[in-house]
Structure 1
Amino acid sequence: MPTVAIAIFPGVQALDVAGPVDVFSEANRFIAPNNRYEVTLLGAESTPLRASNGMTLVADATFSEARHTFDLALIAGGPALPERAPDARVLDWLANAASQCGRYGSICTGAFALGHAGLLDGHNVTTHWQHAAQLAAQFPNARVDFDRIYLRDGPLVTSAGVTAGIDLSLALVAEDHGPQIALAVAKRLVVFAQRQGGQSQFSPYLTAPADETSPVAKVQAHVMERIRESFTVKQLADVAGMSARNFARVFVQETGVTPHEFVERARVDAARKLLESSGAALKAIAYDCGFGTADRMRIVFTKRIGATPMQYRERFRSP
């Protein structure tokens, strides 16, 4: 019987726990009794704790009581983890579990706990899109993928934000018992057995600049106000009042992307808003957002967010 341990702590994201637990529980409906998952919630204390949404959770056992080896060990995420390391007892258990379990990993921001336990170095990992850059900066020896819904790197498994823990758990069920069992579980939970696209389709590409009066911010506003137009680095440098070479260098320093990358992201965001809020033809949206043609917009969308404009509209258009 495969054993699964999920570490919980005060402030844990309840859905990071409930999602995987439900996947493994539903999988047991379709698996022979001697091969069913046995899931245990572990915590530093045996007393009830509050999740981030106020829900009360209780660990089945404490870390010190869980002396046997688990087949899979996971740490759930929590809103505070990107800013504050968890209890040292959590980190000690993670480090020990990683050395003994066949598979170990994290849900959502639980990746930060893995980082504090020294388990991310040299590995390909992912986390919630909103905290991916922070994870990469905080643990520079990890290779953080900003877009994947889940990742498997040897025995290490990590997932993107919140509900992506369901995707990861379904993938593990498919690995253990085949895709048909995973599909049956997905149907029971009314979710996709394998979600199309990455988490970029849920995240805004563009954020407000730190200094809204800076030359870079002026250029960004210029682009977004004239998103239908085409731009060259020289044209944008003139808007900033800088030489093309200096502008390109400063732009990358302040934004982390090239001017070309920014323009393409701005076009994608503009198109996303129209796809979500209007029934305009794809060719009209492509023209209004500066792609030129619907084919070009489709190519960029597929590259950027792993879905075509039509697929994106079907998923996110407001009724």
Structure 2
Amino acid sequence: MPTVAIAIFPGVQALDVAGPVDVFSEANGFIAPAQHYEVKLLAADPAPLRASNGMTLMADATFDEAREPFDLALVAGGPALPTKEVPDARLLDWLANVATRCARYGSICTGAFALGRAGLLDARHVTTHWQHAAQLAAEFPRAQVEFDRIYLRDGPLVTSAGVTAGIDLSLALVAEDHGPQTALAVAKRLVVFAQRQGGQSQFSPYLTAPADDTSPAAKVQAHVMARIHDSFTVKQLADVAGMSARNFARVFVQETGVTPHEFVERARVDAARKLLESSGAALKTIAYDCGFGTADRMRIVFTKRLGVTPMQYRERFRQA
């Protein structure tokens, strides 16, 4: 009987815990009893603890009591984990220890920060919630953080994006253990997709404001977004900034982290997303108004950037 351990702590995200638990529990209804998953919640202390939403959770055992090998060990995330406040040392010690004795170990959502502080992310490809991916990459520069993945496996290490992505990861592990048909059956029971199309980018905003809203980069960004249907060259944008093209391109990357071309394309995608969500305009109209020129070009960019077509995006996010 495969054993699954999920580490919890005060302030844990309840859905990071409940989602995977329900996947493995439902999977038990489709597999032989000898293959049933046995899931245990582990915490530093035996007392009940409060999740971030106020729900009370009770661990099955403490970290000190659960030193045996597990087939899978996961640490859930929590809204406070990305802060510089170091998690309970007992959690980090347990993670570092159990990772050496598990076939698979990893994290849900911001649980990746606990893995990093336990020294388990170096030279690994990992992901986390889109809001905190840049922070994870900055705090653990030896990790290869992939910003757009719903879940990711690198050898024995598995990580997932935010919150409900723990369900996607767990379904993938069930498929790995018992085949895609079993994972599909579980997904149908839970009324979720067995394999979500696209990555996290379809949920996250592409554009971030520069730190100094009076800077040349901010001036150019405002110019582009106010005239999103126009075509732009680096020379034209440099003229708006009052700089030479060469100097402008260098300064823009320094201030924004992307090239002018990259910014323009991201701005077009964000503008199109807003129209797809809020209007019933034809795709060719949105493509023209947002500077793509044609619906085919917009589809190519959406597929590259978001992993879904404009029509698929509209079907998922269109406001009633």
TM-score (structure 1 length as normaliser):
0.99
Distance 2:67 2:33 in 1: 24
1:24 shift after superposition: 0.3
**Could you say which residue in structure 1 is the equivalent of 2:73?**
73
Which 5+ residue runs of structure 2 have no aligned equivalent? none
Structure 2 counterpart of 1:155, which letter?
A: P
Distance 1:252 1:118 in 2: 31
Residues 131-161 of structure 1: per-residue CA shift (max 9 Å, x gap): 0011001100000000000001000000000
Give the 3-state SS of the residue equivalent to 2:41 in structure 1: strand
The aligned runs of 1:113-152 (5 Å cut-off) are 113-152=114-153
Residue pair 2:130, 2:200 contacting (<8 A) in 1 also: yes
**Could you say which residue in structure 2 is the equivalent of 1:62?**
62
Residues 250-305 of structure 1: per-residue CA shift (max 9 Å, x gap): 11111110000000000000000000001100000000000000000000000000
Distance 2:87 2:251 in 1: 37
Distance 2:256 2:217 in 1: 8
Structure 2 counterpart of 1:56, which letter?
A: T
**Could you say which residue in structure 1 is the equivalent of 2:217?**
216
The aligned runs of 1:24-43 (5 Å cut-off) are 24-43=24-43
Root-mean-square deviation (CA), in Å? 0.6
**Could you say which residue in structure 1 is the equivalent of 2:230?**
229
Distance 1:90 1:253 in 2: 38
List 4+ stretches of structure 1 deviating above 2 A. none
**Could you say which residue in structure 2 is the equivalent of 1:204?**
205
- Answering whether residue 6 of structure 2 is matched by residue 6 of structure 1, we say yes
Distance 2:135 2:251 in 1: 21
Give the 3-state SS of the residue equivalent to 2:5 in structure 1: strand
Distance 2:17 2:254 in 1: 39
Distance 1:79 1:165 in 2: 15
Residue pair 2:67, 2:98 contacting (<8 A) in 1 also: no
Alignment length (residue pairs): 319
Distance 1:207 1:276 in 2: 20
Which 5+ residue runs of structure 1 have no aligned equivalent? none
1:237 shift after superposition: 0.7
Distance 1:71 1:244 in 2: 56
TM-score (structure 2 length as normaliser):
0.99
- % of aligned pairs identical? 87
Give the 3-state SS of the residue equivalent to 2:29 in structure 1: helix
1:210 shift after superposition: 1.4
Residue pair 1:124, 1:151 contacting (<8 A) in 2 also: yes
**Could you say which residue in structure 1 is the equivalent of 2:167?**
166
**Could you say which residue in structure 2 is the equivalent of 1:291?**
292
Distance 1:264 1:67 in 2: 50
1:85 shift after superposition: 2.2
Distance 1:75 1:8 in 2: 7
Distance 2:53 2:243 in 1: 49
Residue pair 1:6, 1:74 contacting (<8 A) in 2 also: yes
**Could you say which residue in structure 2 is the equivalent of 1:312?**
313
**Could you say which residue in structure 2 is the equivalent of 1:99?**
100
